[in-house]
Chains A and B, each alone.
Chain A
Amino acid sequence: MDHPVVHEVSARDGFLPIKTNAFDRGFIGVVFGIFLHLLWMRFLEQAIPLWVCTILTVLLGIYIVKRG
């Protein structure tokens, strides 16, 4: 009996502009998280500590993975 070598990865529609699977959404979350951290360090860190950004990034990452 033949076994399928390639498994279908389930892609879905969310608020992101492309169809994504879970790995895509995780990756996009990390990429945006890094971007936010860099912006925060440049413009906001003197007023608000960086761990606030980390918490926001984690929340944003969860939102992207769940709804993206």
Chain B
Amino acid sequence: MRYLPLTPDDRAEMLSVIGAPDVEALFRDVPETARNAKLFDLPLHAGELAVERELAGLAAMNRPAGAGPFFCGAGAYRHHVPASVDHLIQRSEFLTSYTPYQPEIAQGTLQVLFEFQTQVAALTGLEVANASMYDGSTACAEAVMMAQRVTRRETAVLSGGLHPHYAATTQTIAHAEGMQIRRLPAAIDAEAAVIEAIDAETACVVVQTPNVFGVATDVTRIAQAAHAAGALLIVVTAEAVSFGLLKSPGAMGADIAVAEGQSIGNALSYGGPYVGLFAAREKHVRQMPGRLCGETADAEGRRGFVLTLSTREQHIRREKATSNICTNSGLCALAFSIHLSLLGETGLRQLAALNHGRARELRDAVAALPGVEVLTPRFFNEIAVRTPGAAAALVEACLADGVVAGVPFSRLDPHAGMDDLLLLAATETTTSDDIAALAAALAKGIR
């Protein structure tokens, strides 16, 4: 077997050094009845060519986003990733290393994390950021639990504009941890209801901008209302490229900002692995979940980096840890950081403007269709539209024309009574031809 270097001679020699008659003897502590499981229904080993054939066959059964007009967003976005990003993350020293427990031989990973934390802090307009979470949705749940630790209150208010998967994840995880979750009904314009829901028991309010319907919102008023009640404001961003154009969460008064970082540097990959961004005000740093990388010096006084404040974490604090997270999303954070270094201030702003411009073109095209109503007043790169019938059926109809016409809202939340709502996203990868094809397919589907 090509991944196993020991030869039969090696094995025999090693057994004699050990003083064991055979390998069986090394498994003697396993109960005899369970020691030799039979795996009749699994195939035997296969060569690289055979495995590649099977996987290529499975891949070919899927319709990649890049194969034609494609308008899905709702928490995952198709962007162009420069070739150098994927090349660099496949370097052995990044790909095949682990959590930097030995800082003297992990400065590569540690410096990247320090740079990543600084980039995330800059994007979100907050002072400190951690070294990544699993994804945006779990980062959202962690933020809610952090707010409980900071405020010592138990209730979280989730805006009706929050991505339903984020809300469900937060309900599952933060509720298990003992919090009361007040999830407001799905609403395109969710701001007023959020402010109304804040009371003296509220630990935090969670708002998303741009929200799941694409609505970009200035949440400053929500921040003021939350702070007046002694609650924290958590701002969620599912499309990280929007940071290049819109006001940062920190500038609008967020205490904690979480985001899905997939858009920058990472492939769609059918939902994962992605990378959760997590930033907060410095005064709350000891309540943050996840790994933190900090600057220090070595024995010769040279600048270096280490994992720090680890007494918050599970491997030291055990049942008193701020979170149970261990492995995070290191390689995806690296991809994010490399792509962002390539973009820089100038590139990210251009990219964001380009996305917004494509979405305006998209909006204009679908707004002109009879029976279609655009519901998103101010948006970044995604809009919600009302269609004459069920959006899911319309999406299926468009497939016949080779167009993937976005995400029906009912796929995310079947009980919102919003079956006629369709979410459409455009990015720099969307062409004018794609938009024309979408408009034509929608028009045909509606008829």
Q: Do A and B come from one complex?
A: no
